[in-house]
Amino acid sequence: MVRPVRACSVLRSAGEPRVKQNPIVIRLSRRFVEIRKTAMGQGVEAAVVLGGILRQLRAELPGHYQRHLRDELDVTPVLAAQYAAVARLAEEAPTVVRGFRAVGVRKLATLARLPAAAREAVVRELRQGRAAERRFWALVEPHLHHRASSPDVRARALRRSLRAFTTRLTSQALPVPRDAQLRGVLKGDLLEASRRLQAYARQLARTAASASA
């Protein structure tokens, strides 16, 4: 569920600069939330508009954009990047977006990542019919440049996911399933997640102790 935008609330961490109540940011944020609330909020057409808004917000919020996504817009960085990519693709290759709306936001965002020549090659294959569309990922994979991420990069991404998950847990009443089997499965999942998180925390503590020795 999309939360109402809070008009650029003050950043919460002590020592960080305050985000001014920029009227442009407030207007764009409200527009973003309104569009996501509508029935068209999940479609490609909406993604183009949402992505355009996000690109403007990024320019208005240097250093604070990621936090604004989480705290004010309730959107993950991954989805925000997909929206922005689709908006960019609509500018660079509007016929691709119009012609392949049915493939969805994620696939169009992937097409946006490809070099122009590679994208044209994939699009030619896709235009051959449904069989080619089902092979979408096989078609684009050779053209994607995978960058090996460092442990620090992956750790920061994990921390963002954990903080977003914790915020969800603490900001709303947790559902208690009526179905006994579902309650048991959910309990098991939570206990397993807890065990894995505690083991990871112990690993981090051992690493810190070794580094300080």
What are 90-133's pLDDT values in tens digits? 999 999 999 888 888 999 999 999 988 999 988 988 888 765 66
Which residues in the chain come in under a pLDDT of 50? 1-2, 4-5, 7-18, 20
The token pair at 21 is: 């109540």
Please state the pTM of the whole predicted model.
0.60
How high is the pLDDT of residue 3?
52
How high is the pLDDT of residue 37?
85
Residue 211 has phi, psi (to 5 degrees) of -70, -30
Q: How far apart are CA 26 and CA 36, in angstroms?
A: 16
Q: Which amino acid is located at 38 in the chain?
A: T
How high is the pLDDT of residue 139?
86
Instruction: Give Cβ neighbours of residue 45 (< 8 Å, ≥ 6 apart).
Output: 101
The token pair at 13 is: 């961490």
The token pair at 41 is: 């909020």
Kindly list the domain boundaries of the chain, sorted by start residue: 23-143, 177-213
H or E element at residue 210: helix 180-212
How high is the pLDDT of residue 130?
60
Residue 148 has phi, psi (to 5 degrees) of -70, 125
Q: Which amino acid is located at 45 in the chain?
A: E
Q: Which amino acid is located at 170 in the chain?
A: T
Q: Which amino acid is located at 204 in the chain?
A: L
Could you tell me if 97 and 108 are in contact, meaning their C-beta atoms sit under 8 angstroms apart? yes
Q: How far apart are CA 8 and CA 57, in angstroms?
A: 11
The token pair at 193 is: 């997640």
The token pair at 133 is: 């569309």
**DSSP 8-state assignment for residue 71:** I
